[in-house]
Amino acid sequence: MLAQLVFLLYACGTTAPGWDSQPTDSSTPDESDTDTDTDSDSDADSDTDNDTDSDADADVVPELSWTLDKDIQTLATVSWTQPFTADGYVEYRFDEDWRSSPRRSFEAGSQEQLLLGIPYETQADVRLVYDASTGATTQEIRLATGALPANLPVPSLKTSIPEMYEPTGNYLLGSINADSGGWTGGEYWMFIVDRQGRVVWAMRAEDDDFTIYLHVSRDNDILWDVSTFWSDWDMGAGSEIHRMKIDGKITATYPAPGMHHCFTELPDGSIIWGSATSGAESLLRRYLDDDSVETVWDCEPFYDELGLNDWCHTNSIFYHEPTNTVLMSFPTNDTFILEIDLDSGQEIRWFGHIPESWDFDYTRSEFQYQHGVTYTDEGTLLMSSQLTPRDDDGVVREYELDEENQVLRQIWMFGAGDGIDASYAGEAHRLPNGNTLHNTGTTPRVREITPDDQVVWDLLWSGYRLLGRTIFVEDLYDLAP
C-alpha cells in the first residue's frame, strides 16, 4: 500500500520525502545539457539550436578567403558566403587598432569586400562581422599584401606631430617620376601614402608621358592627366584626362588637346585646361554631357594689348566658385597671375611683373616662378614661389588684396632659409584647420605647416625628381567602386 501511495505522489509531480530532483549534468535546471538555460541545447539562450541568437535554426558561421589585385597588390578582396541577410562590415588590423570597411547590407549568398589602406609588404588580421545587430563575428584569418613595385619611389618620414595634423588629412594622393632629372618625362607613378609615410596604393601611369596633376572629382573619382606635350613634343596633341576609381579601372577618357601642365573640374562636371595647340595659350572647356569643347579665353589678344611677346602658358589653374572666376599662373614674362571671368572670358585683374599689374607692398614680397596658386576661404592669395629670381628656395607666400589701392600685401611667408630648392613645380594648399600643405616640386618634399610656422608633418623622397600635385584624402572608401 505504501509503495502505491509513493507512486501516485510522484506521478502527480510531488517529490517524495527524502528524494532529490537533481539533474545528471552540471547545470542547475533539470535537463541533460551543460548550460544554465532551460532548453536542451548547449548554448545560453532560449532556443534549441547551438548558436547564440534567439531563432531556432543553427546558423553556419561564414569562412573567409582572400585575394590580391594582380596589378595593385595592396587591394585585398575578402570573400565569403553570407548565411542570411544582415548589415555587417569587415574589420582588419595591421597596427594596434582595428579598422573597418563601411557598414552595409549583405544579402544571403556570395559576398565580397574590398579592403583599403593596408601598406605594401604587410600582414593583416581580418574578421567579418556578418550580423552587426548581434555582433556575430567569424574567426580571424591573416592576409599579406604584395611587394612594393620595382622602381616606385618611396618617401621617408622626417617629422610627425599627429595631434597637430589636419584631422581630415589621413592619406596623401599624388604622383612622382621614378626617373631623376627634374622636369622630364619618365616612369611616372600615382601613389597614396598614409601618415606614417607608408605606400598603401600605387599605379604606374602611361608610357613616359607626364602625369602631374591628380584631382579627386566632385563625385569621388580619381582624375589624372596624361600629357604628351613634353614627352612626345607633339604640342599636346595626344594629351588626355582619365577617370577611374581606386581599383585602377578607367571608366572614361577625355581628349585634352594641347594640355601641357594643368586642368581642373568645374561644379557642373565640365573640365578646363590650358592648351597650347595653336602655339599660344588658350583656356579650353570640355562639357561631358555632349562632349563639346569651347574656348573660354585666348592669350593672343591679351598679349597684343599689353605688348607682350614671351611664350604664354599656364602652370596652374584654380576655379574660385564664390566669384565664378579662374586664376591662371604663368611662369613666363617674368611670371604673372591672371584672373578671368569664367562665363565671359574677360580679364578682371592680374598680379606680377607685366604692364598694368597690381603693385606689391614692397620689393622683397614679390613672388617669382610661382605654382599652385589659389584663393583661400578668407580671400587671400596663396602660392608656392621661389624666394627671388636668383634664389630657388621654395617658399609659401600669402597676400591680402588691397582692392582700393590695387596692392598685394604679403601677410605670411614660410620656408626662406630652409635650403629646399624648388626649381620646377610646387603647390600650396590651405587646409580646413588653418594649416598649409606645401609641395616643393623637383625637390620632392611635402610639409604641413601650422599658422605659427611649426612643421608638423614632413615627407621627403630622395633625388632630384618631379613630384606632381599632392592633396589629402580623408577616407579611401570614398574612392572605391
Res. 24: pLDDT tops 60:
no
Spell out the SS3 assignment of 392-403: EEEEEEEEEEEC
Do 320 and 206 lie in one domain? The reply is yes
Res. 122: pLDDT tops 90:
yes
The residue from 121, 144, 167 where one domain ends is: 144
* 453 within a domain of the structure (yes/no): yes
472 or 39: which leads in pLDDT: 472
pLDDT at 28: 43
Could you give the percent of the chain with pLDDT greater than 70?
87
Res. 22: pLDDT tops 80:
no
pLDDT at 56: 43
Question: Which grid coordinates are listed for 464?
Answer: 632630384
Do 130 and 193 lie in one domain? The reply is no
Do 102 and 233 lie in one domain? The reply is no
Could you tell me the residue range of the domain that residue 103 belongs to?
65-144
Confidence of residue 148 (pLDDT cuts 50, 70, 90): very high
Res. 225: pLDDT tops 90:
yes
Average pLDDT, the chain: 90
* 7 within a domain of the structure (yes/no): no
Confidence of residue 334 (pLDDT cuts 50, 70, 90): confident
Do 127 and 189 lie in one domain? The reply is no
* 426 within a domain of the structure (yes/no): yes
**479 vs 31: CA distance, rounded Å:** 55
Do 285 and 399 lie in one domain? The reply is yes
- Residue-wise pLDDT for 335-358, tens only, equals 999 999 999 999 999 999 999 999
pLDDT at 277: 73
* 22 within a domain of the structure (yes/no): no
Do 132 and 171 lie in one domain? The reply is no
The residue from 112, 144, 176 where one domain ends is: 144
Res. 54: pLDDT tops 70:
no
Do 140 and 161 lie in one domain? The reply is no
* 14 within a domain of the structure (yes/no): no
The residue from 144, 171, 199 where one domain ends is: 144
Q: How many helices (H) and strands (E) does the chain have?
A: 2, 35
Q: Which of 420, 463, 473, 405 is nearest to 177 (CA)?
A: 463
> What's the CATH number where 95 sits?
2.60.40
Tally of CB atoms within 10 A around 319 = 17
Question: Which grid coordinates are listed for 252?
Answer: 572614361
Do 435 and 379 lie in one domain? The reply is yes
pLDDT at 333: 84
For residue 153, give Cα distances in angstroms to 146, 194, 202, 268, 338: 16, 15, 10, 36, 35
Q: Give φ, ψ of 417 to 5 degrees.
A: 85, -5
pLDDT average, residue stretch 179-185: 92
pLDDT average, residue stretch 237-263: 97
pLDDT average, residue stretch 208-224: 97
Confidence of residue 27 (pLDDT cuts 50, 70, 90): very low
Spell out the SS3 assignment of 240-266: EEEEECCCCCEEEEEECCCEEEEEEEC
- Residue-wise pLDDT for 297-319, tens only, equals 999 999 999 999 888 989 999 99
- Residue-wise pLDDT for 61-115, tens only, equals 999 999 999 999 999 999 999 999 999 999 999 999 999 999 999 999 999 999 9
Do 327 and 306 lie in one domain? The reply is yes
Do 208 and 111 lie in one domain? The reply is no
* 51 within a domain of the structure (yes/no): no
- Residue-wise pLDDT for 406-452, tens only, equals 999 999 999 999 989 888 999 999 999 999 999 999 999 999 999 99
Q: How many domains does the chain have?
A: 2
Return the minimum-mean-pLDDT range out of 3-7, 162-166, 363-367, 431-435: 3-7
pLDDT at 390: 79
pLDDT average, residue stretch 267-272: 97
347 alpha carbon, distance to own chain's centre:
34
Do 123 and 207 lie in one domain? The reply is no
**54 vs 31: CA distance, rounded Å:** 19
> What's the CATH number where 352 sits?
2.120.10.30
Do 164 and 86 lie in one domain? The reply is no
* 446 within a domain of the structure (yes/no): yes
* 173 within a domain of the structure (yes/no): yes
Confidence of residue 123 (pLDDT cuts 50, 70, 90): very high
pLDDT average, residue stretch 318-325: 98
Res. 396: pLDDT tops 80:
yes
Produce one character per residue of 122-137: b if its CB has 16 or more CB atoms within 10 Å, e if not.
eebebbbbbbbeeebb
